């Protein structure tokens, strides 16, 4: 642990504590896990970008149906390839941590569910969402009629301005009433 701590100096550590919802131990643990994914010759962990398929090997993300979307949403790389730097990784952990507020979590949840990145959840987004949730294999997915029925029901419940899509404020309105959301939208290293 001596080498990792020396690469993450005290100033950066206290800044990260101000900027995220993570405690000191969690940040150090995140740094340790992040460095394990770095290739051997790379010494400066803070600026390197780890490619998406390496991130997806983490056990916490491996079985998650939204893992690719999560990487894409939190990635700040210019080539939009889903690679994460250490800052992005901390952003991810902070949004998914226990102490993050409902607003942060619902904001990021909306971005994750927005598969085509157009700022609203349209029918295609919702269809893709349902397919992710049911596992994507042939025998567990829904028939087209069931899918249509389901999406109609959802839009009826959440689409207040009846424009056929769910925008951020409608989404947040629905999510804020849910008692399970905050406790299930959590990832802990």
Binding to another protein by residue 160, rule CB under 8 A?
yes
Binding to another protein by residue 56, rule CB under 8 A?
no
Binding to another protein by residue 101, rule CB under 8 A?
yes
Q: Which stretch binds another protein (CB under 8 A): 2-10, 36-44, 49-57, 88-96?
A: 88-96
Q: What is the DSSP letter of 37?
A: H
Q: Which stretch binds another protein (CB under 8 A): 1-9, 12-20, 32-40, 48-56?
A: 12-20
Binding to another protein by residue 91, rule CB under 8 A?
yes
Q: Which stretch binds another protein (CB under 8 A): 2-10, 33-41, 43-51, 82-90?
A: 82-90
Q: Which stretch binds another protein (CB under 8 A): 1-9, 34-42, 44-52, 60-68?
A: 60-68
Interacting residues of 55 by C-beta distance below 8 A, sequence separation 6+: 37, 61, 71, 82, 83, 84, 89
Tokens 């983490």 belong to 58
Residues 114-153 that bind another protein (CB under 8 A): 117, 119-120, 126, 129-130, 133-135, 140-142, 146, 149-150, 153
Binding to another protein by residue 43, rule CB under 8 A?
no
142 three-state secondary structure:
coil
Sign of CA dihedral 82, 83, 89, 91: negative
Give counts: helices (H), strands (E), the chain.
Answer: 12, 0
Binding to another protein by residue 179, rule CB under 8 A?
yes
By the 8 A CB rule, do 110 and 172 touch? yes
By the 8 A CB rule, do 98 and 186 touch? yes
Binding to another protein by residue 174, rule CB under 8 A?
yes
Q: What is the DSSP letter of 164?
A: S
Which residue(s) pair with 84 in the sheet?
50
């Amino acid at each position: 642990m001596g080498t990792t701590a020396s690469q993450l100096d005290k100033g950066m550590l206290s800044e990260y504590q101000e900027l995220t919802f993570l405690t000191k131990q969690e940040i150090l643990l995140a740094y340790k896990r992040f460095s394990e994914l770095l290739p051997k010759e790379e010494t400066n962990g803070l600026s390197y970008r780890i490619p998406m398929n390496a991130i997806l090997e983490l056990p916490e993300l491996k079985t998650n149906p939204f893992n690719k979307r999560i990487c894409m949403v939190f990635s700040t790389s210019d080539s939009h390839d889903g690679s994460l730097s250490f800052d992005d990784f901390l952003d991810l952990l902070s949004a998914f941590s226990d102490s993050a507020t409902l607003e942060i979590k619902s904001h990021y949840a909306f971005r994750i569910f927005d598969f085509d990145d157009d700022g609203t959840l349209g029918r295609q987004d919702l269809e893709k969402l349902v397919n992710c949730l049911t596992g994507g294999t042939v025998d567990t997915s829904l028939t087209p009629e069931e899918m249509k029925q389901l999406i109609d029901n959802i839009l009826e419940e959440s689409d207040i301005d009846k424009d056929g899509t769910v925008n951020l404020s409608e989404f947040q309105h629905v999510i804020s009433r849910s008692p399970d959301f905050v406790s299930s939208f959590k990832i802990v290293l």
